[in-house]
Structure 1
Amino acid sequence: MSAVSAPQRAASPDPAGQRVSVAASLLRLSTHIRYENLAAGLSGGVISTVVLHPLDLVKIRFAVSDGLSVRPQYDGVLHCIKSIWRMEGVRGLYQGVTPNVWGAGASWGLYFLFYNAIKAYTQEGRTAELSAVEHLMSAAEAGMLTLCLTNPVWVTKTRLVLQYTADPSKKQYGGMLDALVKIYRHEGIPGLYRGFLPGLVGTSHAALQFMAYERLKRDYSRAKEQPSESLLCPGEYIAMAAVSKVFAVVITYPYQVVRARLQDQHNNYSGIADVLGKTWRNEGLEGFYKGMGPNLLRVIPACSITFLVYEHVSHVLLNQDH
């Protein structure tokens, strides 16, 4: 039973009755909101982003690599990092870090906030643990809510990391706020929500990851004959986070390529179908997995750090240490 669909199925056909039922359900859902989850998720997201932002920049540059002459050509991850370092130094490797920190911190914080609230709502009045499908649905709903609030930040980050010149006077955007203002001024709200639809598809990535993570954590705790919410050691959290992340990335990575290309200021696609068609014709299946190598190098440690920090901070804040 999901937090969104359940009240709608149970509601009266009368519109006024439906509004009352939805309002009551949202009120019940709000009672399960714990801001400790927000703080713990935000902490994990910020720490992992600051440490690993250069690999995120490399991943995006490879994802949009479609042969345009405006783009630098890289032979691999190390060549890309060395080239950026040589041209722009540390500053070049950290282009777009501000919206990335804001976006990752807010996304992880909001995601854990919504996810745990929806899980608790779904668990109301039950003693049995949630099923894999219920974890999947809870994570998907949390992802959709989070994306609605954070998509403009991700558009801004993509635009900033795709500025290839080292000369500040030739850069289109001077920073996060400048990019937000210019995108809104020249492209309006649609510009700030470029890539939103593939982003919605991408909520399946987090949903699959959380489903796998919860299942691994539950089965491992059962094998050790301890409660599923028991605090594990760092290595155990890191291993489960890494396995669940690889599982989700392999299945869903092509949406990230589509999303990055839609948000790229150097190309103009008419929509998702246009990106899919051109990428397939010009680059084949391989085109949809460009940048997955550097992405895995970044997201596996990033996810491991995020989940490790989240689990320990949330246990401290929620007084759930065992």
Structure 2
Amino acid sequence: MEGNSGYKDYVAGLTAGIAMVVTGHPFDTVKVKLQIHNTEAHGIQYKNGLHCAARILKTEGVKGLYRGATSSFIGMAFESSLVFGIYSQTKLLLQGGSDGGKPQPQAIVPSAAFGGAIISFILCPSELLKCRMQVQGADSVVLSSSRYGGPLECALKTVKYEGITGIFRGGFTTLLRESIGNAVFFSTYEYVRYHLHLQLKDASFESSQLTDVGVGIMSGGLGGIACWTAVLPLDVAKTIIQTTPEKNQTRNPFLILQSIYARSGLRGCYTGLGPTIVRAFPANAAAIVTWELSAKLLGIKRDLN
């Protein structure tokens, strides 16, 4: 990338976040529903992700799949802008001002982890509101007096009953998930992107808009799958921490996962894997393609030579 790209990296990242929410939010709603209902001690509510999605569509319609999308749009737009911007700028700094050639893990991993750690402070409250909105659907056991009419009401009630720190419930788990997840995502993305372009070049394929989109889809999609495979147990713990009505519920993600593992095994720790993986490929592919196209339109250059 050009050394003076500055704000452009953040603008490109913002467009990537919007594309990710539009594509992936319905899958995320199903994932959250599964994580709440299928990890509770009293039994499983949904057979699988398809059963859960069908149930939501039957009882709430399409709007049920986009429940909590408002806070998600706001959170993801800022989060994506920051994470892509911080990652790009930090990587550029660690690589001495050049962005090209073979991926350098010593620059990619710390840049991605740093970006993930920073955005976790924004992502935590927005995801708390999103998750609380998502779990109060038709199948929820939440009391009507505790229901939220929208994300603003959810935020106000959370602060009223839990204090300002209640908005940041699950913050440590979010930080862990984002630091590890972004390091895995960007590492996979960079290596897949590099090797695909290398193979296309060796096969005498001319670089075009179509081939760039194809590489973006594959590198972004595989990066998303790798990321969520690595951090889904932390996400399960985060969802439980943020949505449980129990005031004495531990905030330690490892203790929660230990409890789930004792009850349901490894499968329990990976509750929601189906819709998460199904979502990860198109959502992250859309984000990367949008990011790269936006970067190109804004004049940010990335060379592989």
TM-score (norm 2): 0.85
Partner of 1:84: 56
Shift of 1:87: 1.4
Give the CA RMSD over aligned residues.
Answer: 2.8
Summarize deviations over 1:213-260 as a string: whole Å, max 9, x none: 11222333344279xx99752111111112222222222221111111
Q: Distance in 2 between matches of 1:126 and 1:52?
A: 33
Task: State the AA in 2 paired with 1:254.
Answer: P
Judge conservation of contact 1:139–1:207 (CA < 8 Å) in 2. Answer: yes
Of 205, 230, 244, the match for 1:251: 230
Q: CA deviation at 1:169?
A: 5.8
Q: Which residue of 1 aligns with 2:197?
A: 221
Q: Distance in 1 between matches of 2:267 and 2:71?
A: 29
The amino acid across from 2:21 in the alignment is T
Query: 1 CA distance for matches of 2:154 and 2:47?
Result: 29
Select which of 207, 217, 242 maps to 1:238. 217
Distance of 1:233 and 1:116 partners within structure 2: 19
After TM superposition, list the pairs within 5 Å mapping 1:91-106 onto structure 2.
91-106=63-78
Q: Matched residues, percent identical?
A: 27
What are the residue-to-residue correspondences of 1:38-187 with 2, within 5 Å? 38-64=10-36, 65-67=38-40, 73-124=45-96, 131-165=104-138, 172-187=147-162
- 1:48·1:305 contact (CA, 8 Å) conserved in 2? yes
- Number of matched pairs: 289
> What whole-Å deviation, never above 9, does each CA across 1:169-218 have from its counterpart, x for those lacking one?
65621111111111122112321111111212112111111012112223
Question: Which residue number in structure 2 is paired with residue 192 of structure 1?
Answer: 167
Contact 1:33 1:116 in 2 (8 A): no
Q: Measured at CA, do residues 160 and 72 of structure 1 come closer, stay the same or move farther in structure 2, by a change above 3 Å? A: farther
Q: Which has the larger radius of gyration?
A: 1
Q: CA deviation at 1:133?
A: 2.7
Aligned to 1:270: 250
User: Tell me, which stretches of 5 or more residues in structure 2 are unaligned?
Assistant: none
> 1:156-178 CA deviation, whole Å, 9 max, x = no partner?
11111010338996562111111
CA contact (8 A) 1:261 1:267 kept: no
* Bigger mean CA deviation after superposition, 280-289 or 265-274: 265-274
> Per-residue displacement from partner, 1:41-91 (whole Å, max 9, x unpaired)?
11121123123311110011112222366x981122222122112212222
Structure 1 spans left out of the alignment, 5+ residues: 1-30
1:124-167 CA-to-partner distances (Å, cap 9, x unmatched) read: 36798662132011100011111123321111111110103389
Query: 1:305 offset after TM fit, Å?
Result: 0.3
Q: Any idea what the Cα deviations from partners look like across 1:70-117, whole Å, max 9, x if unmatched?
A: x98112222212211221222222211111111222211111111111
Question: Cα 1:38–1:259, aligned 2, differ >3 Å: closer, same or farther?
Answer: same
Within 5 Å, give how 1:4-19 maps onto structure 2.
Answer: none
2:27 is matched by which residue type in structure 1? L
